[in-house]
Amino acid sequence: MYDSDRTGSPDVDLQGPPWAGGNLPTNTEMGRMIIIHEHEDLNPPSDNTVNSDDEGERPAGSIFFDFDDPITEFGFDLVDIEGADENGHFASFMLGNNPVGQVSFMDFQNTEGAIFGNNTINRISPISFHQGNVPQQFDRVEIYMGGSGAVDNVNWGRFEIQTSPSAPEPVTATLTGICLSLLGLSIQRRAR
In tens, the pLDDT along 54-80 reads 555 677 889 999 999 999 999 999 998
Contact between 115 and 109 under an 8 Å Cβ cutoff? The reply is yes
5 or 162, higher pLDDT: 5
Query: What is the pLDDT at residue 67?
Result: 96
What is the mean predicted confidence (pLDDT) over 144-151?
A: 86
Determine the longest span between alpha carbons in the chain, in angstroms.
99
Q: Which pTM value belongs to this model? A: 0.73
Residue length of the chain: 192
How confident is the model over 171-189, as pLDDT tens digits?
A: 444 444 444 444 454 444 4
Residue 33 has pLDDT above 70, yes or no: yes
Of the candidates 89, 57, 78, the one whose C-alpha atom is nearest the C-alpha of residue 4 is 78
Going from the N-terminus, what domains does the chain have, and what CATH number goes with each?
Answer: 2-163 (2.60.120)
What are the φ/ψ torsions at residue 42 (nearest 5 degrees)?
-75, -20
3-state SS of the chain is CEECCCCCCCCHHHCCCCCCEECCCCCCCCCEEEECECCCCCCCCCCCCECCCECCCCCCEEEEEEEEEEECEEEEEEECCCCHHHHCCEEEEEECCEEEEEEECCHHHHHCCCCCCCCEEEEEEEECCEECCEECCEEEEEEEECCCCEEEEEEEECCCCCCCCCCCCHHHHHHHHHHHHHHHHHHHHHHC
Q: What is the mean pLDDT of the chain?
A: 77
Q: How confident is the model at residue 3 (pLDDT cuts 50, 70, 90)?
A: low
What is the mean predicted confidence (pLDDT) over 12-31?
A: 89
Residue 116 has pLDDT above 70, yes or no: yes
Lowest-confidence segment of 5-19, 33-47, 147-161 by average pLDDT: 33-47
What is the mean predicted confidence (pLDDT) over 105-111?
A: 92
What are the φ/ψ torsions at residue 184 (nearest 5 degrees)?
-65, -40
